[in-house]
Amino acid sequence: MRFTVSLAALIAVLTAVSAAHLSGTRDTNKPHPQSIARVRAPIHSPTVHSAPSANEIVSSANERNRQLAIAIERALVSRDSQQRETAFNFVLPELLREEPDRLIAIVARQEPGEARDALRDEVVRQWITHDRDAAIEWMNSLEQADRTTCATIAMRTLAAINPAQAIAVADQFGVGRDDGSLEHMVQIWATEKPDEAMRWIEEQPPGEPRTAQLRARIEQARPSITGQAHNYSSLP
């Protein structure tokens, strides 16, 4: 229940801010009421509503994104886990889609600690699936420790949806090899989607040591898959 209320309140605030901003902008262009009284309007004159100008649209979007950023920063300092969950699940992806630079700035100005780490991890977790190239560019701009942590999170996130991209990211940033997590991921891939894993490994350059390790994992998974197929076929 608190989750729904938090989201509804946030939407109401954003809507009110945007509406108030547009209303205030248009009111400055209206003539004084006394001037209107001196002019006799035609009996059947239609009401004309002017479309918002480009400046109004941009200004409204900027204000909306500013409010989104404020909601995220407030959630970070709040001890309410539901508020943070709401911000991460609904507000963060919206700001990431509309103005990622503003979100990056929020991460950059956070003091070291749990809140900063949580925001950084959530940004890379969502961004790597939304815009992989942009996320990688951002990760490359981070300090070494942050870069390694983010690359590991990116690898694990991509592993569930695109193992080939997960391998590419892992090798680009040098993660997943020293602890065996990359090989383990590839073995799971070969077990669940053997044909897809085999097609990928066959497309890799021959003689590459790193590829040879992954090839061994894929081939290691194949006997168990064959055995499973045999057992299933022998069932009555």
169-224 per-position pLDDT tens digit? 999 999 999 999 999 999 999 999 999 999 999 999 888 888 888 998 998 887 65
Q: What tokens were used for 208?
A: 């590459």
Confidence of residue 235 (pLDDT cuts 50, 70, 90): very low
Together in a domain, 146 and 220: no
Shared-domain flag, residues 145 and 117: yes
68 Cβ neighbours under 8 A, 6+ residues apart: 14, 91, 94, 95, 98
Which ranges in the chain belong to alpha helices (H)? 2-27, 33-38, 54-77, 81-86, 92-98, 100-108, 114-130, 132-140, 144-159, 163-173, 181-192, 194-202, 209-233
Q: What are 36-50's pLDDT values in tens digits?
A: 344 454 455 555 556
Structural domain of residue 223, as residue ranges?
177-231
**One domain, residues 171 and 92:** yes
Q: Give the pLDDT score at 51.
A: 66
Task: Give how many domains the chain has, as a whole number.
Answer: 2
In this structure, the answer to whether residues 111 and 164 fall within a common structural domain is: yes
Out of 156, 175, 194, pick the residue that ends a domain: 175
Residues 85 and 144 in one domain: yes
Q: What's the pTM? A: 0.71
- 137 and 199 fall within a common domain: no
